[in-house]
A and B are shown apart, each in its own frame.
Chain A
C-alpha cells in the first residue's frame, strides 16, 4: 500500500529552470503561493507550462462563473478521494461564497434534495457524477437538463473542468504530493460527511487528522 510519502522531491523556485520559474511566478501571482503540486512539475518544465495553463483558465471567471466551477471541482475530487484537492478547494470555495453547509451537501446524492442547490447546479452535478463513473453512460435526461441551462461554450468549460480535476487529482495522488503547511489545521468537511471509499485514502486522511492532534 502507498505510504503517502512524496515519491519525487519538489523543485523549489531557487532551483527551477527559467520556464518552470515563470510558471511558479504566475502561480504566486495568482494564488499567493506556489503549491507543492506545481513544484513537482519543475522536473519537466516543458510540460509544466501547458499543463498549468489549463488550470489558470479554469480557476477564474470564464464562460462559467468560478463559484459554479468550484462545485464541480469539489464534486469530482471528492468522488476521486483526493484529500489534497478537496482540502484546498474547501478553502477556495468558501472564499468564493460556497458555505460549509452547501459544501457538505455535495457528497454522494445529498445535493439532489439539498435546499442549498438550484436545479441548474443539480443538473451539472448529475453530469459530473456520471462523467466520473461512466462518461458513455450519461442518461439522456441529464443531457437534456444540462442543455436547457447551458450553451455549448459553457458545456465545454464544465466538462473540461471535471476532466481536468480528475487529471490533476490522480496526477498528484499518484506522486504522493503532500498538502502544504498552510492547510495542516483545516478541518475536513466532505470527508467528515462521508469517509473516502479508497482504503489508502482513508489511511492518508487518518494520518492527516492524527498529525493535527499532535500539533
Chain B
C-alpha cells in the first residue's frame, strides 16, 4: 500500500498537464508522478524537475544515471533502483560498471575515469555530511568539470536524495521508469 492513492485521472488542469508531460517523456506515467497527483503544485513542479534531470544535460545522461544509482545506493534508497539500472544499461553503461556502484568496487575499477570517480566520491560525502566536502575534492572536481556541470551534478545528487526519500516515504514501487526507447 502506498501512503497516498496513486491518482489515475484528475480533473485538475495542472495535474493533467503534468501527466501528459510525464507520458511524453517516460512513455507512461510513473507511479511517483501518480502519487503526487493529489497535490497539483507538487505534481507539476516535481515532475518537471524529474524530467529536466533525466535527459542529456551539461553532463551526459549516460553518466548521470551512474550518479543516480550511486546516490540511491549511498543513501540506502530502494525507490526506482532497479528501474535506473535498466536505464543506465540502455544508455550504454556496462553491467560491470553499473554493478560497481553499489559497493566500493568503483574506486578500483578501470571502467571509471578519475573524473567520474571524483563525482562518486562527492556523492558519498554529500550523503555522509554535505557540510564536509573537502577543498581538496573540490579542487579535483573543478579540474575536470566546469561550473555549470558541477551545479548540475550537485543538483542531480541532491535531487535524487529527495526523490529517493519521497518515493521510499510514500511506499511507491517503480519497477520500470521508461517504457520508451531511451538510447
Contacts and interface: CB of A to CB of B under 8 A. Distances in A.
Nearest to A80: B130
B66 interface: no
Contacts of B155: 41, 44, 47, 51, 171
24 contacts: A2-B133, A7-B133, A41-B155, A44-B148, A44-B151, A44-B152, A47-B52, A50-B48, A50-B51, A51-B159, A53-B45, A81-B129, A135-B77, A159-B166, A159-B169, A160-B36, A160-B39, A163-B165, A166-B161, A169-B130, A170-B126, A170-B130, A171-B154, A200-B131
Contacts of A174: 122, 125-126, 130, 133, 154, 157-158
A131 B76 CA distance: 12
A173 interface: yes
B46 to A, nearest CB: 6
B17 interface: no
A126 B148 CA distance: 37
The A interface is mostly helix, strand or loop, or mixed, namely helix
A175 B36 CA distance: 29
Nearest to A170: B130
A47 B52 CA distance: 7
A198 B131 contact: yes
The B interface is mostly helix, strand or loop, or mixed, namely helix
A8 B151 contact: yes
A91 interface: no
A67 to B, nearest CB: 17
B147 A201 contact: no
Most chain B beta-carbon neighbours within 10 Å: one of A82, A147, A176: A176
B147 A9 contact: yes
Given A54-B45, A57-B45, A153 B39 contact: yes
Interface of A: 1-5, 7-9, 40-41, 43-44, 46-47, 50-51, 53-54, 57, 62-63, 80-82, 127, 131, 134-136, 138, 143, 147, 151-157, 159-160, 162-164, 166-171, 173-176, 196, 198-201, 204
A160 B125 CA distance: 23
B132 A54 contact: no
Contacts of B126: 170, 174
Contacts of A3: 135
B8 to A, nearest CB: 13
Category for how many chain B residues contact A: 35 or more
A169 B126 CA distance: 10
A171 B158 CA distance: 6
B131 A163 contact: no
Interface of B: 3-5, 35-36, 38-39, 41-43, 45-46, 48-49, 51-53, 57-58, 76-78, 122, 125-126, 129-135, 138, 142, 147-148, 150-152, 154-155, 157-159, 161-166, 168-170
A156 B131 contact: no
A201 B131 contact: yes
List 8 tightest A-B contacts by C-beta distance, closest first: A200-B132, A167-B162, A156-B39, A135-B168, A173-B130, A170-B130, A152-B38, A200-B131
Contacts of B5: 152
A80 B39 CA distance: 26
Nearest to B58: A44
A7 B143 CA distance: 13
B130 A152 contact: no
B131 A46 contact: no
B166 A160 contact: yes
B154 A153 contact: no
B45 A198 contact: no
Contacts of A51: 49, 155, 159
A156 B36 contact: yes
